[in-house]
Structure 1
Amino acid sequence: MKIKDRPEFRSKAPVLTFGPEAVVSDAVAVMSEKNYGAAVIVDADHRPLGIVTERDFMRRLLNKRLNPDETTLAQIMTVDLKMARADDDLLDWLRLMSNERFRHLPVIDDQGVIISMMSQGDFVSYTWPELMGRLGEQARATFDVSPSLVLMVAGFAVFAASVVTIFAQLR
């Protein structure tokens, strides 16, 4: 499935963006008011330069005892951005996000302009049911392909029950 096929992709609120010179305290106020966990820092053409998350505020601002009224987002943003395209495979990105431990994925168009931001939560809401469905399909396929496996398991169960019964009578 492609990212653009997710219902969340089409129904997402606009990405919260700021310029690099925005002051941290102003960004925190807006993020808090709108309940956003991340914002994308963009240039004048709306191309991503970085991202700030709650973790950035904790590690790069509070931990270093910087003043949020004087510190700009450019000073604390994460610049090593991973960015997706709407046609990218959803499960590939979910795997990468999980392996590399990041939760927010800016989605850009062919000109590099931000068009959406997906979170790991957006993907997980879909993938857990799908993964369980796929496991069920694989289990059914295994039994369809190998009926002898079912007979082996049933035979083992009968043998085990017989052994337990015999030992119970010997006592």
Structure 2
Amino acid sequence: MKIKDRPEFRSKAPVLTFGPDALVADAVAVMSEKNYGAAVIVGPDRKPLGIVTERDFMRRLLNKRMNPDKTTLSQIMTTELKVARADDDLLDWLRLMSNERFRHLPVVDDEGIVISMMSQGDFVSYTWPELLGRLGEQAKATFDVSPSLVLMIAGIAVFAASVVTIFSQLR
């Protein structure tokens, strides 16, 4: 499934963006008011330069006792930014976000301009039935499950249950 196919992608509020010279205090005020956990730092062309998250405020600002009224976002933003495209596979990004431990994913258009921001929370709505259905499809494509294989597995399960029963009666 592509990112753009998710209802969350189509219903997202506009991406919260700031320029690199914006003050942390101003960004925190807007993010708090609008209940945003992250904002994308963009240049004049709206192409992403970095991202700032609640974690950045804690680790790079508060932990270093920097003054939010004098610190710019460029001083604390994460610059190793990963960006997706709307046509990218959702499960690939979900896996990468989980493995690399980041929660916000800017989505850019063909020119590299930010058009959306997806979060792990948006991807969590990809429900278990959908995931299991997709895994089942992939398993079918990968393995040809023959009736003899199913009978063999069932036979092993019956044998194992019989052995457990016999040994429990011998005690």
| Distance apart, 1:123 and its partner CA | 1.4
Q: Which runs of 5+ in 1 are unaligned?
A: none
2:112 & 2:64 partners in 1: Cα distance? Answer: 32
1:2 & 1:23 partners in 2: Cα distance? Answer: 35
Match of 2:108 in 1: 108
CA deviations over 1:120-148 (Å, ceiling 9, x no partner): 12112115332222345578899x83322
1:158 & 1:78 partners in 2: Cα distance? Answer: 56
Match of 1:4 in 2: 4
Match of 1:38 in 2: 38
1:109 & 1:53 partners in 2: Cα distance? Answer: 22
Shift of the 41–140 alpha-carbon distance from structure 1 to 2, 3 Å rule, reads: closer
| Distance apart, 1:158 and its partner CA | 4.9
2:63 & 2:31 partners in 1: Cα distance? Answer: 20
Shift of the 136–41 alpha-carbon distance from structure 1 to 2, 3 Å rule, reads: same
Which residue identity does 1:91 align to in structure 2?
L
Q: TM-score under structure 2 normalisation?
A: 0.85
CA deviations over 1:41-61 (Å, ceiling 9, x no partner): 111121111100001001100
Q: Which runs of 5+ in 2 are unaligned?
A: none
Match of 2:22 in 1: 22
Where in structure 2 are the equivalents of 1:43-54 lying within 5 Å? 43-54=43-54
Q: TM-score under structure 1 normalisation?
A: 0.85
Residue identity (%): 85
For the pair 1:86 / 2:86, whether they are aligned, the reply is yes
| Distance apart, 1:107 and its partner CA | 0.7
Shift of the 148–59 alpha-carbon distance from structure 1 to 2, 3 Å rule, reads: same
Shift of the 122–167 alpha-carbon distance from structure 1 to 2, 3 Å rule, reads: closer
Say which SS state the counterpart of residue 30 (structure 2) adopts: helix
Aligned-residue CA RMSD in angstroms? 2.7
For the pair 1:128 / 2:112, whether they are aligned, the reply is no
Shift of the 158–2 alpha-carbon distance from structure 1 to 2, 3 Å rule, reads: closer
Shift of the 9–131 alpha-carbon distance from structure 1 to 2, 3 Å rule, reads: same
Count of residue pairs brought into register by the alignment: 170
Structure showing greater radius of gyration is 1
Match of 1:152 in 2: 152
